[in-house]
Amino acid sequence: HRISEISGSLDPLVMLTPAEVFREPDLLPFVGADLAKWREMALKEDANLYVEGPTILLVPYSAEHVTPYHAWMQDEELRRMTGSEVLSLEEEVEMQQKWTSEYDKATFIVLDKESKKMIGDVNLFFYED
């Protein structure tokens, strides 16, 4: 799905079946030799994608989420359970920017579908086997 407004309506996007998903080497005949350019375009498109479930939304971790996320991560028990380190707000901003520029991972904020309040986060890592 694409995000039309972070707090507003959501427009559907065509969903792919597993058979329609390719690994990066499979894409070379389609993207040509300029794989770096293709990755850059894919990152820009990914910034507008979200995943919708029955009660939650997964939205890309964007700049507007940094301050509330940083506040969460001040909780010692939460950091212990997630294996996270204490970061300053400036470091958290840098991390958010870094994560959105890496094509081999996706970081999503979990929102309650009804209230649109942040209730968690999830990271996806993509590996070649």
From CA 14, how far away is CA 106, in angstroms rounded? 19
Which helix (H) or strand (E) covers residue 40, if one does? helix 35-46
3-state secondary structure of 58: strand
Distances from the Cα of 90 to the Cα of 10, 16, 86, 95, angstroms: 31, 37, 12, 9
Q: Greater confidence, 68 or 21?
A: 68
* pLDDT digit string, tens, across residues 70-121: 999 999 998 998 889 999 999 999 999 988 777 777 788 999 999 999 999 9
CA–CA–CA angle 69, 72, 75 (5° rounding):
150
Does the pTM exceed 0.85? no
Type of residue numbered 127: Y
Type of residue numbered 78: L
